[in-house]
Amino acid sequence: MNYRHAFHAGNFADVVKHLVLTRILLYLQGKESAFRVIDTHAGAGLYDLTGEEAQRGGEWRTGIARLMQARLGAAEPLVRPYLDIVRAFNPQRELTAYPGSPLIVRALLRPQDRLTACELEPSARKQLIANLHRDPQARVVDLDGWTALPAFVPPKERRGLVLIDPPFENADEFAILAAGFGAAFAKWPQGIYLLWYPAKSRRACDDLTRHVAGAVRSAQPGEDRCLRIEFSIAPQTGQPGLMSAGLLVVNPPWTLASDLKTILPELEKPLGLGGAGRYRLEACRP
């Protein structure tokens, strides 16, 4: 996968990931006490959909563009907060910009909440700092996400979310992701963790799930505190291009599975290519 997220901004994987992210943050707002979000691979924060990279890939046209035109039925109230954030970056109603995870998080922070965004790539980091307007609630860290992950947990707020969304440039990225999660979870087993992965290799996805679920089960015997979500827009044929992506949510809000049972079926038709997409939603098993 290409590190430069501008090629893929607003695609189906972003839509699903950011919908889940939004539902988790809205849940965290339910208590007055402060929370922190740690974004380990934050990116540039805002993407120009009229730029050369986004136009070349064009993935947003079958992702966020379709969702904004879709009739969502019972899912509409649950999806609306996410779409409202996207619309706030497109005040002229024409879809020209897409917010990445840090700006979606920032839109849902209350005065007492904080964001720590890690970005090592110089150009992306510079853009992220500019897009956050040097906001005092959002700290941009010049640090590799895998180094930052165990260093920044537990946060002083003792409540919050760790978003782990690496670029998957390396062949061993699944193993790195599993090890990084394990190190952080050992230090902060009470936190909510959201792990994103491309679902190209069934074996790699299953191995990651078993590793994460096993770590959770060891810390919390007898409890299934890990949720697996996958969404496919078409069968994966081995050709270039991502057709399926997944998320693991550790310590999910108790409302999340119910929310997703309403949301995910409504995404199948608008996001599917050449027919309806399909989703997978289940508890993780070691």
CB within 8 A of 246, min separation 6: which ones? 196, 197, 198, 199, 205, 228, 229, 230, 231, 280
113 annotated active-site: no
Is residue 102 within 8 Å of 117, Cβ to Cβ? Answer: yes
209 CB-near residues (< 8 Å, 6+ apart)? 226, 228, 248, 284, 285
Q: Of 165, 172, 207, 224, which one is the catalytic site residue?
A: 165
Residue 238 exposed, middle or buried by CB count within 10 Å (0-12, 13-18, 19+): exposed
Active site residues: 165
